[in-house]
């Protein structure tokens, strides 16, 4: 049985992978729904980051695997209720039947919760894990920001924006976005895609319109 030691990181739970397992499949579907509901809730306060790989914007929450969301008490409890299980039972199903990469966390959680009241768990054993999870997420976010700060594409994008702002003041310098993008592509070796530069131009135009409205 694969208990997750070498399992790949799965951002979203693929419940259909358990379609042939009549016991696990309905629970996996409910777990997947609750994990994505929590991701969507977090997304409302999540700030956009710019990975710099293709020039597009993204959200940190999109990189968080489903099984990390499920360790949060406010997610796990209603999920267990919908499944018709006790919390320790749901934790055991996740650990040994769904088998995420961090299955050990759910195994420990199942044992710790057996015979305990949920409120006691919430203020006791799991609170320590919640603090560790918060630190882990903060470290990941800080690491992402540090990576962006040293990304040459992000550095060059900032310079390209300065060139774009200068062009707005002197529109005769370029015939259009395509001409501007080609010139920027020639000037900066880290940039590889003319369509990405054109996309930046459209985004900056929208930002300018918004700020003026």
* Pair 21, 118 in one domain: yes
Please give the Cα distance from 121 to 91 (Å, whole number).
13
User: Do 178 and 127 share a structural domain?
Assistant: no
Whole-angstrom distance, CA of residue 182 vs CA of residue 178: 6
Are 134 and 194 part of one and the same domain?
Answer: no
Shared-domain flag, residues 78 and 129: yes
Residue 172 forms part of a structural domain: yes
Residues 88, 135 within the same domain? yes
The tally of domains found in the chain comes to: 2
Of 129, 148, 167, the residue at which a domain comes to its end is 148
Q: Does residue 186 lie in a domain region?
A: yes
Query: How many C-beta neighbours within 10 Å does residue 163 have?
Result: 15
The whole domain housing 158 covers 152-212
In a shared domain, residues 83 and 179: no
Same domain, 122 and 184: no
- Element (DSSP H or E) covering residue 31: helix 24-43
Q: What percent of the chain has pLDDT over 70?
A: 73
Q: Same domain, yes or no, for 21 and 124?
A: yes
**HEC per residue, 100-126:** CCCHHHHHHHHHHHCCCCHHHHHHCHH
pLDDT digits (tens, 9 = 90+) for 17-66: 999 999 999 999 999 999 999 999 988 887 776 554 434 457 788 888 99
- Are 122 and 73 in contact by the 8 Å Cβ rule? The answer is yes
Let me know: does 134 contact 33? Beta carbons within 8 Å. no
Residues 159 and 143 in one domain: no
Say if residue 144 is in the same domain as residue 161: no
10 domain-assigned: no
Whole-model pTM?
Answer: 0.52
- Judge whether 34 lies within some domain: yes
Whether residues 42 and 134 share a domain: the answer is yes
Does residue 4 sit within a domain? no
The reply to whether 7 falls in a domain is: no
| 127 and 86 belong to one structural domain | yes
Q: Kindly tell me if the per-residue pLDDT of 166 is higher than 50.
A: yes
Domain boundary at 100, 117, 148, which?
A: 148
Domain limit, last residue, from 105, 128, 148: 148
Q: Considering only the C-alpha atoms of the chain, give the largest distance between any 2 of them, rounded to a whole number of Å.
A: 75
Residue 112 lies in a domain: yes
pLDDT at 61: 86
Within-domain flag for 6 = no
- pLDDT tens by residue, 174-198: 888 889 988 888 888 778 888 888 8
pLDDT of residue 14: 94
The Cα-based distances of 110 to 84, 94, 154 in angstroms read 16, 10, 44
């Amino acid at each position: 049985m694969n208990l997750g030691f070498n399992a790949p990181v799965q951002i979203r739970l693929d419940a259909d992978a358990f379609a042939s397992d009549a016991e696990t499949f309905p629970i996996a579907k409910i777990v997947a729904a609750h994990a994505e509901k929590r991701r969507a809730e977090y997304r409302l306060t999540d700030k956009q980051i710019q990975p710099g790989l293709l020039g597009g914007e993204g959200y940190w929450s999109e990189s968080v695997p489903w099984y990390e969301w499920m360790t949060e008490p406010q997610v796990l409890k209603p999920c267990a209720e919908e499944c018709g299980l006790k919390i320790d039972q749901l934790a055991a199903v996740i650990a040994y039947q769904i088998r995420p990469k961090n299955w050990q966390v759910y195994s420990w959680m199942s044992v710790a919760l057996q015979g305990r009241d949920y409120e006691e768990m919430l203020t006791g054993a799991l609170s320590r894990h919640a603090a560790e999870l918060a630190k882990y997420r903060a470290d990941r976010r800080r690491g992402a920001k540090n990576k962006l700060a040293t990304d040459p594409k992000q550095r060059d994008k900032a310079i390209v924006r300065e060139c774009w702002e200068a062009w707005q003041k002197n529109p005769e310098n370029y015939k259009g976005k395509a001409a501007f993008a080609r010139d920027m592509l020639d000037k900066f070796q880290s940039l590889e895609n003319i369509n990405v530069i054109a996309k930046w131009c459209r985004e900056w135009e929208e930002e300018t319109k918004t700020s003026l409205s």
